[in-house]
Amino acid sequence: MEYDVVLIGSGFGSLSAAALLARQGLRVCVLEQAKYPGGCASSYKRKGYWFETGATTLVGLDQNMPLRYLLDKTGIQIKAQKLELPMQVHLPSGQMLTRYRNLEAWLAEAERVFGKYNQRPFWQHCFKVSQQVWQASLQQRSFPISNTKDLILSVCRARPGQLALLPAAFRTMEDVLRKYDLLQNKPFLDFVNEQLLITAQNHIHEVNELFGATALCYTLYSNYYVPGGLINLVKPVEAYITENNGEIKYGQQVESVKKTGRMYWIKTNNQTFQSKYVISGIPLNNTLQLFKNERLKSKLGKYILPSEKLNGAFTMGLVLKLKQPPAVLHHQVHVPEGLPLIGSKSFFISFSDPNDTLRAPAGQMVASISTHVPDPENLRIEQKYILEDAILTALCKAGLIDLKSILVKHSATPGAWNFWTHRAYGAVGGYPQYKQIKPWQMKDARLDHDGAYICGDSTYPGQGIPGVCLSGIIAVEKLLQDHF
């Protein structure tokens, strides 16, 4: 079977790239080992209920953001409900903090909880940086630079505001907090660290200002809920691809990729596909195992992060009898003493909309819970009931659930993630931010500089639906730039 482009994996980066390539009239084929599309930005059905696979929040639909770009270019339409209140945070003090979308409302809330000293200038600065980052990210679709044409295009697309962002790549969020004299405010410091962990996968001393300010401000942009789960974000993209002469084939676990002459040969567990070009949408760690090319592995090895620098996830799914619907669907719960077995100091819980009968029958709702597991290859969770009990106890203490309301409960460790998704070590959330890795040092979309490309959460710009969507946009930009 011969195609113009074969894409490995149906994560949202791959699907974004496939849709944009299909729009160009290229014949694309997406190979997915599972039975549902979307990777970590999707949903799965269990015991008649729809649970979120990984991501539970949707942003990126505002102007100058990647998902808006994708939908505008293709005409794809999705059904999504804007959330008035994006998230609430349950702090160690017992206080509940509401992450308002409106900047002034959020500033008042931050000052109420953490004190007025320098909260306003800190958040105004972060929001301004985040706006500049999003605008620059779509203007600079040849970034990171990896050949002369990238450089020429980047210079042509450069704007004065983009150059002003450059120093922020060399500053950490710790530096920014020091500038505003906020390092002494321990409750605020703990809050920022746990917020960064769910958005940038690391803490203030490692996350640079560009990514950190943008990560902290995601609740200041439009946040959405997708009825039926994020599978219904993915399905319209899947439909667009197939309606435009593309194919998505499930149950196809890619085992090797080899180039012979001008064609790539992609071998799966039961078929072999040919294509002029290939885009991998799976993590770098997995991608390099597919290419039987020692020179490529040697060249790209510097980009690979080992398990001790990655995070896995412990996840839980609950079905609850609906008593009093939560006013806010997304919550972060701080656990200052750390969760047993893994030491994580917070976890995230997302409830389904009480009126969403696509995910659970009337009178019931679904909850998806996740928390970080460091070094997932080596941190084994043998007695996961201990972790389950600690999370449920914290949820009850926060007033978010009643144990008597639980109808269904299940959980998964990084080992289960590895088994079901085949992601190396069961690592999720992409590569964490590290201060020694500047944005231009992240892996760009060109894999072998010969026709193979890569997108997804382990390449620039990183995790989250907007991030992986942007990585797919950039992969398409560079493929077309190189060969058409």
pLDDT tens digits, one per residue of 91-117: 999 999 999 999 999 999 999 999 999
Tens digits of residue pLDDT in 234-259: 999 999 999 999 999 999 999 999 99
Residue 324 has pLDDT above 90, yes or no: no
Please list, in sequence order, all residues whose beta carbon lies within 8 angstroms of the beta carbon of residue 438, skipping any fewer than 6 positions away. 169, 170, 208
Look-up of token digits 């996740």:
370
Residue 420 has pLDDT above 90, yes or no: no
Rounded to whole angstroms, what are the CA distances from 254 to 95, 288, 468? 48, 12, 20
**How far apart are alpha carbons 244 and 151 in whole angstroms?**
32
In three-state secondary structure terms, 378 is coil
Please list, in sequence order, all residues whose beta carbon lies within 8 angstroms of the beta carbon of residue 10, skipping any fewer than 6 positions away. 30, 32, 34, 37, 38, 39, 234, 238, 248, 281
* Residue 128's pLDDT band (cuts 50, 70, 90): very high
Look-up of token digits 């209920």:
49
**How far apart are alpha carbons 334 and 198 in whole angstroms?**
12
**Is the whole model's pTM more than 0.95, yes or no?**
yes
Strand partners, 364: 321
Instruction: Kindly tell me the burial class for residue 327, based on how many C-beta atoms sit within 10 Å of its own C-beta (0-12, 13-18, 19 or more).
Output: exposed
- Yes or no: say if 317 and 366 are a contact pair by the CB < 8 Å rule: yes
Residue 479 has pLDDT above 90, yes or no: yes
**Tokens of residue 172, six digits:** 């950490």
Amino acid identity for residue 170 in this structure: F
Better-scored residue on pLDDT, 294 or 471: 471
Share of the chain above pLDDT 90, in %: 92
Give me the mean pLDDT over the 59-79 stretch. 96
* Residue 418's pLDDT band (cuts 50, 70, 90): confident
Q: Considering only CA atoms, which of 195, 201, 245 is closest in space to residue 30?
A: 245
| Exposure b/e, 11-46, CB count within 10 A at least 16 = b | bbbbbbbbbbbbbeebbbbbbbbbebbbbbbbbbee
- Yes or no: say if 328 and 57 are a contact pair by the CB < 8 Å rule: no
Residue 8 has pLDDT above 90, yes or no: yes
Q: Checking DSSP bridges between strand 224-225 and strand 81-82, what pairing results, if any?
A: antiparallel
Domains of the chain with CATH codes: 2-80+227-305+431-483 (3.50.50.60), 104-214 (no CATH), 307-426 (3.30.70)
Length of the chain: 484
Q: Considering only CA atoms, which of 396, 317, 352, 391 is closest in space to residue 57?
A: 352
pLDDT of residue 227: 98
- Yes or no: say if 331 and 286 are a contact pair by the CB < 8 Å rule: no
- Yes or no: say if 4 and 21 are a contact pair by the CB < 8 Å rule: yes
Tens digits of residue pLDDT in 201-215: 999 999 999 999 999
Please list, in sequence order, all residues whose beta carbon lies within 8 angstroms of the beta carbon of residue 111, skipping any fewer than 6 positions away. 119, 120
**How far apart are alpha carbons 247 and 271 in whole angstroms?**
15
**Tokens of residue 334, six digits:** 């701080």
| Axis-axis angle for helices 119-139, 66-74 (nearest 10) | 40
**How far apart are alpha carbons 178 and 225 in whole angstroms?**
36
Look-up of token digits 């290859």:
377
